[in-house]
């Protein structure tokens, strides 16, 4: 998957994004664009970068998402279970949003479990993380927003 060109964005392994990010892998793709695991060349820090396609409706959603992410910055990511957002930049007509790189999404965790589902012991910490995140989002008066879905990520596999 890492070597294919994703959604005509021209993103492949070893692509350079902006002036300082090197693509290491494509970790997700969908109708909006792709998410790439990247390395910031000046600090050697691994990050996740969401590359939004340059279609008008997708760019509009990306701008709305950035407005919400700016509001979420006031929350402590360690206590709120909100993924840390590092910022955004434009490159070749696309919007790139940078986030902390996490171990795994809830989707991929569930996929690993195959069809057996989750035990109550596995489900409780996930629900606790989700409830904590939603309470913090609600505390800063973000209640409803169209076009932007919150992504569920595990803050730590060791919590499961």
Please report the pLDDT score of residue 155 as a whole number: 53
Please report the pLDDT score of residue 159 as a whole number: 52
Element (H, E) at 140: none
Please report the pLDDT score of residue 119 as a whole number: 86
Burial class (CB in 10 A: 0-12, 13-18, 19+), 144: exposed
pLDDT in tens, 134-158: 999 989 988 655 444 445 454 554 5
* Partners of 87 in beta bridges: 98
Please report the pLDDT score of residue 28 as a whole number: 86
Q: Would you list which residues are annotated within the binding site for ATP?
A: 50
pLDDT in tens, 80-114: 998 899 999 998 888 999 999 988 877 778 888 77
The mean per-residue pLDDT over the stretch 2-21 comes to 72
Nearest to 155 by CA among 65, 79, 44, 97: 79
The mean per-residue pLDDT over the stretch 50-69 comes to 88
Nearest to 88 by CA among 112, 114, 66: 66
| Beta strand 16-17 pairing with 85-91 | unpaired
Q: Would you list which residues are annotated within the binding site?
A: 50
Element (H, E) at 21: strand 21-30
Residue with tokens 């008066």, as numbered in its chain = 141
Please report the pLDDT score of residue 156 as a whole number: 53
Please report the pLDDT score of residue 148 as a whole number: 43
Share of the chain above pLDDT 70, in %: 82
- The CA distance from 123 to 100, in Å, is 24
| Beta strand 21-30 pairing with 46-52 | unpaired
pLDDT in tens, 120-133: 898 899 899 989 99
Residue with tokens 């996740």, as numbered in its chain = 48
Q: Which domains does the chain have, with CATH numbers?
A: 16-159 (1.10.510.10)
Its pTM surpasses 0.85: no
């Amino acid at each position: 998957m890492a070597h294919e060109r994703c959604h005509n964005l021209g993103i492949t392994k070893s692509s350079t994004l902006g002036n300082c990010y090197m693509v290491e892998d494509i970790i997700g793709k969908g109708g909006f664009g792709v998410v790439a695991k990247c390395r910031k060349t000046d600090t050697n820090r691994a990050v996740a970068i969401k590359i939004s396609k340059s279609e008008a409706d997708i760019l509009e959603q990306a701008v709305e998402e950035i407005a919400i992410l700016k509001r979420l910055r006031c929350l402590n990511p360690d206590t709120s279970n909100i993924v840390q957002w590092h910022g955004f930049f434009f490159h070749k007509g696309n919007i790139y949003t940078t986030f902390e790189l996490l171990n795994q999404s809830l989707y991929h965790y569930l996929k690993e479990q195959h069809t057996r589902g989750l035990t109550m012991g596995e489900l409780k910490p996930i629900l606790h993380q989700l409830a904590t995140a939603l309470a913090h989002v609600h505390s800063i008066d973000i209640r409803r927003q169209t076009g932007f879905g919150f992504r569920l990520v595990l803050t730590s596999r060791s919590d499961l």
